[in-house]
Amino acid sequence: MNHSTIATALRLTASHFSESFGCKKVAKVPVACDLTSLLAARIVSIIRRKIIVHIGFMATAALTNSEPRIIPLSEADEAELAPLFEEQCREWLSLLRWDYSAPSRMIRDVLAESELLGFAASVEGQYAGLGFYVVEGGRVSIGDIYVSKHWRGSGIDGRIVEAMIEEIDRLTRIRRIESQCVQIGNDSAGEMFQSLGFHQCDRRFMMTHLKRAAEVDPSFSHIEIRSWEEDDFDEAARVIHSSYRGSLDARVNSQYAREEGCSETLSILTGHIWCGDFLPEVTRVAVSADTGQMVGVLIASRIAEGAGHISQISLRRAFQGLGIGRWMIESALVKFSRCGIDAVSLAVTAGNKGAVHLYESCGFQTIHTFPVFYRERRRRRAGG
């Protein structure tokens, strides 16, 4: 995947994308909204500002005596790659209860235009894996690494990672690389990331199956919980930023370290298809009854028929550890149930022990664990 420097601005073609975002078109990023909503936030910011994007794809076949044939992605046949995308959609729906079909169609639309700067590789005419990344300023987000079940364990995922990082490292302005995508069966990719100096954190994808529940009776006379309102956006972004300041999650995902990044993330969660259909009536906002200040927010969406997702839970530091987060979750689960949703998921960094314990006590169980990675490039000393 080592070729020319990033120099292609993607044009967006899907009409519904233009109507939704007020812009032209871009490549999709799978973000399981933590899942990374975080990565999706970056994509949409790129769309809005028309920032140059580079998407690299690499597809290979299992290790055989035949070497993969590497071709520019612009020369790859989107129809021949379709089975791989379709398999990924089926696996997401089966494993995560996440309907990934709309974002998948987006990336295929861009592929069909032959305007993506990247590569495809095949052995004996068969595609088996893909990976892509996005460049924004001095940061790179690896958007996806997916290998067909048939070819897992062959090392293809590691070769994809190696190719992407080798190319990224040639871009002298890049200071940080992150991989927040939901990975499935990519053991070789993880080994490659670690060999290349990346830090690793595990994330848990958790799910609970709902039963009929009565409305939660709050025990906080000074806190009120209500549904999302249109003018909540700016304050909610500040709450999210405040809650993550100095945290492990802010080290792993740089979007959380900046208020602007939190705002970009929130715009994805509340307005775009990357993380399903936003549910303002299920979304919970905790407000101080005394001051009217927002102290917490829980963002809810529908990600498939009968399946919901909590993509964000944040509380201002002064209000953490008081049981308000539990109250917000329990209230949201009741609202989800009333919308015909019988399963709700969320994702959490495994190292956040307090959050994991809270979610488990609310009935969530881990159904999938995946690694995320990040690496900072060391600045060279003057004259070094």
Q: Clarify whether residues 232 and 293 are in a common domain.
A: yes
Residue 10 is predicted with a pLDDT of 33
Cβ-count burial 271-291 (b if 16+ within 10 Å, e if not): ebbbbbebbeebbbbbbbeee
Residue 38 is predicted with a pLDDT of 45
Q: Clarify whether residues 149 and 70 are in a common domain.
A: yes
- Flag whether 331 is in a domain: yes
Q: Clarify whether residues 178 and 258 are in a common domain.
A: no
- Flag whether 5 is in a domain: no
Q: Clarify whether residues 190 and 229 are in a common domain.
A: no
| Residue-level pLDDT, tens digit, the chain, 384 residues | 333 222 222 333 233 333 333 333 333 333 345 444 444 544 444 444 433 344 444 443 444 455 666 666 667 788 888 998 899 999 999 999 999 999 888 878 877 887 665 566 576 778 888 888 888 889 988 888 888 898 888 788 888 888 889 888 988 999 999 999 999 999 999 999 999 999 999 999 999 999 866 666 666 778 999 999 999 999 999 999 999 888 888 888 888 888 888 998 899 899 877 789 999 999 999 999 989 999 999 999 999 999 999 999 999 999 999 999 999 999 999 999 999 999 999 999 999 999 999 999 999 999 999 999 999 986 554 444
Q: Clarify whether residues 189 and 113 are in a common domain.
A: yes
Q: Clarify whether residues 29 and 74 are in a common domain.
A: yes
Length of the chain: 384
- Residue 39's identity, in one-letter code, is L
Residue 145 is predicted with a pLDDT of 87
Residue 143 sits in which domain range? 15-202
Q: Clarify whether residues 45 and 134 are in a common domain.
A: yes
Nearest to 326, CA basis, from 282, 286, 369, 368: 286
Measured distance CA(75)–CA(121) in Å, rounded? 11
- Flag whether 6 is in a domain: no
Q: Clarify whether residues 194 and 222 are in a common domain.
A: no
Q: Clarify whether residues 237 and 100 are in a common domain.
A: no
- Flag whether 216 is in a domain: yes
Q: Clarify whether residues 198 and 211 are in a common domain.
A: no
Structure tokens given for 344:
């709700």
Q: Output the pTM of the full model.
A: 0.81
Domain final residue, candidates 172, 202, 232: 202
Number of domains in the chain: 2
Q: Clarify whether residues 44 and 136 are in a common domain.
A: yes
Residue 5 is predicted with a pLDDT of 25
Indicate if the alpha-carbon torsion angle 324, 326, 332, 335 is positive or negative. negative
Q: Clarify whether residues 246 and 153 are in a common domain.
A: no
Nearest to 188, CA basis, from 152, 151, 158, 145: 158
Q: What is the CATH number of the domain that holds 174?
A: 3.40.630.30
Nearest to 265, CA basis, from 376, 141, 169: 141
